[in-house]
């Protein structure tokens, strides 16, 4: 009686490259220019607009001038001369004034869907600018130039962006792959030791559930990385980025179904970051979360104590703390048990946690035993104290 229903069905293809280089905006380096030239359909007018993390700008005072020199040599793409420098770190996702600044620039400088917005900075700045670019004119092409280890090996090569709203992390955001990512090792050299180290936790995470050989490489190169050896760091970033990209590609890139993101060790890490008001860095919290879920995997009979001690040793060799007082399971309403409950709600009712079944392999479980969790936290607390005595 009514008109037959209509079925819509289509595929959208997404492609982008992650390039590795040093001194991206040195005039001798034509990588960036070649990328822009390759994308440029002959007749389209193209502009590029840069947003730079203040922490990066301060540590690299010549950066803006280098970009200007670069585009006076490679001038097929028109550089918007006003380079927007805004704070890096979580503040750029917390305060909407920075998001607004990008939108205003889009409007003022006439950045359209044939133009690019390039962001140079840590994961927080990339998340905010990526979001602003994706919602402006239904999606301005966006280039990511990550400047921290975490953003080069994980967040910057992924497909998510976002800002915080109502005091909730990533309350607003979209899935939107970048046009390209450029990982420039020069930026890493000016990172604080904490930020240099922090991102390595993501490599431990992905190695532990996906790639035993990479885990062994991390063990062999932990000291080199702890001593700020750039070659070791470069390989770690490349391999970790590769594993993250493969996971996204082979899974459910926009998380529309139930496929899990790569989040071993993350459920307690998220809670800890919140509880410490982000005083504990993401990677630092992840290292502690990995330690916790590793010991839990051992206590629940999934891995040997030799294997779990290898993980703990690696975490310590890199200079991470093993645990935090807030991760202890105490009597009553422990924050960490609350965190577990919040994670269950976040997943829509059913808990899914990855545990280790070996070094390089994981399995999903749908329950965590409170008693074992308490023991795991205590063991870590004990090991951490040993270290300092």
* Contact positions vs ligand NAD (CB under 6 A): 53-56, 59, 88-90, 93, 121-125, 127, 147-148, 150-151, 154-155, 158, 160-161, 187, 190-191, 195, 198, 282
d(CA 250, CA 244): 10
- CB burial readout 115-154, b (16+ within 10 A) else e: bbbbbbbbbbbbbbbbbbbbbbeeebbbbbbbbbbbbbbb
Long-range contacts of residues 209-212, Cβ cutoff 8 Å, at least 24 apart: 209/262, 209/264, 209/354, 209/356, 209/360, 209/361, 209/362, 210/243, 210/247, 210/262, 210/360, 210/362, 211/239, 211/243, 211/360, 212/358, 212/359, 212/360, 212/361
Per-residue CA distances from 198 to 153, 179, 243, 341, 345 (Å): 11, 26, 18, 26, 28
- Rounded to the nearest whole angstrom, what is the least distance from the CB of residue 154 to ligand NAD in the complex? 6
Residue numbers 71-100 binding a copy of itself by CB under 8 A: none
Among a copy of itself, ligand NAD, none, partner that 56 touches (CB below 5 to 8 angstroms by kind)? ligand NAD
Task: Rank residues 93 and 302 by Cβ distance to ligand NAD and give the closer one.
Answer: 93
- Residue 271's CB is within 10 A of a number of other CB atoms, namely 23
Contact 55, 89 (CB under 8 A): yes
User: Of 131 and 214, which has the nearer Cβ to ligand NAD?
Assistant: 131
Of 109 and 175, the one with the shorter C-beta distance to ligand NAD is 175
Residue 347 to residues 13, 86, 296: CA-CA distances in angstroms?
A: 27, 34, 21
Could you give the CA distance from residue 87 to residue 53 in angstroms, rounded to a whole number? 6
103 touching a copy of itself, by CB under 8 A: yes
Q: Closest separation between CB of residue 306 and ligand NAD, Å?
A: 31
Q: Which of 346, 369, 370, 382 binds a copy of itself (CB under 8 A)?
A: 346
User: Closest approach of Cβ 198 to a copy of itself, in Å?
Assistant: 21
Would you count residue 217 as binding a copy of itself (CB under 8 A)? no
Q: Which is nearer to ligand NAD, 315 or 377 (CB)?
A: 315
CA gap 284, 193 in Å, rounded: 12
Cβ 253 to a copy of itself shortest distance, Å: 5
- Cβ burial of 240 (10 Å; 0-12, 13-18, 19+) is buried
Please, which residue, 112 or 216, has the CB nearer to a copy of itself?
Answer: 112
Question: Strand, helix or coil at 163?
Answer: strand
Contact with a copy of itself (CB under 8 A): which of 186, 229, 234, 383?
234
**Contact pattern for a copy of itself over residues 9 through 48, marking x by CB under 8 A:** xxxxxxxxxxxxxx------------------x-xxxx--
Site string for a copy of itself, 245-274 (x = CB under 8 A): x--xx---xxxx-x----------------
Give the residue, chosen from 28, 166, 227, 277, that forms a contact with a copy of itself under the rule CB under 8 A. Answer: 166
310 binds a copy of itself (CB under 8 A): no
Give dist(CA 149, CA 166) in Å, integer: 28
Residue 174 interacting with a copy of itself (CB under 8 A): yes
Report the nearest approach of a copy of itself to the CB of residue 305 (Å): 34
> Residue 154's binding partner, choosing from a copy of itself, ligand NAD, none, with beta-carbon cut-off 5 to 8 A by kind?
ligand NAD
């Amino acid at each position: 009686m009514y008109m037959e229903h209509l079925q819509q069905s289509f595929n959208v293809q997404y492609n982008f490259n992650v390039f590795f280089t040093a001194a991206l905006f040195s005039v001798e380096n034509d990588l960036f220019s070649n990328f822009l030239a390759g994308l440029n359909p002959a007749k389209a007018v193209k502009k590029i607009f840069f947003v730079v993390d203040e922490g990066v700008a301060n540590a690299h005072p010549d950066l803006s001038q280098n970009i200007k020199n670069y585009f006076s040599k490679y001038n097929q793409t028109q550089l918007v001369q006003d380079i927007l420098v805004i704070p890096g770190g979580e503040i750029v996702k917390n305060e909407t004034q920075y998001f607004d600044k990008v939108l205003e620039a889009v409007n003022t400088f006439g950045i359209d869907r044939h133009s690019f917005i390039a962001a140079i900075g840590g994961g927080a700045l990339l998340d905010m600018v990526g979001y602003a670019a994706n919602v402006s004119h239904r999606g301005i092409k966006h280039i990511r130039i990550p400047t921290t280890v975490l953003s080069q090996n994980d967040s910057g090569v992924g497909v998510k962006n976002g800002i915080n709203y109502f005091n909730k992390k990533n309350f607003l955001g979209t899935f939107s792959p970048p046009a390209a990512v450029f990982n420039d090792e020069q930026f890493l050299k000016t990172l604080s030791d904490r930020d240099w180290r922090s991102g390595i936790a993501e490599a431990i995470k992905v190695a532990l559930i996906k790639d035993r050989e990479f885990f062994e490489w991390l063990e062999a190169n932990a000291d080199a990385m702890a001593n700020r050896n750039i070659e070791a760091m470069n390989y770690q970033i490349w391999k970790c980025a590769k594993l993250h990209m493969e996971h996204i590609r082979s899974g459910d890139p926009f998380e529309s179904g139930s496929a899990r993101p790569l989040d071993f060790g993350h459920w307690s890490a998220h809670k800890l970051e919140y509880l410490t008001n982000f005083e504990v860095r993401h990677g630092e919290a992840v290292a502690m979360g990995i330690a916790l879920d590793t010991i839990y995997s051992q206590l629940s009979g999934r891995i040997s104590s030799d294997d779990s001690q290898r993980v703990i040793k690696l975490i310590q060799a890199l200079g991470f703390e093993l645990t935090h007082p807030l991760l202890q399971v105490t009597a009553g309403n422990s924050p960490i048990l609350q965190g577990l409950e919040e994670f269950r709600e976040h997943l829509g009712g059913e808990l899914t946690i990855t545990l280790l079944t070996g070094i390089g392999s994981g399995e999903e479980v749908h329950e965590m035993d409170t008693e074992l969790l308490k023991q795991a936290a205590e063991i870590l607390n004990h090991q951490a104290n040993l270290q300092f005595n």
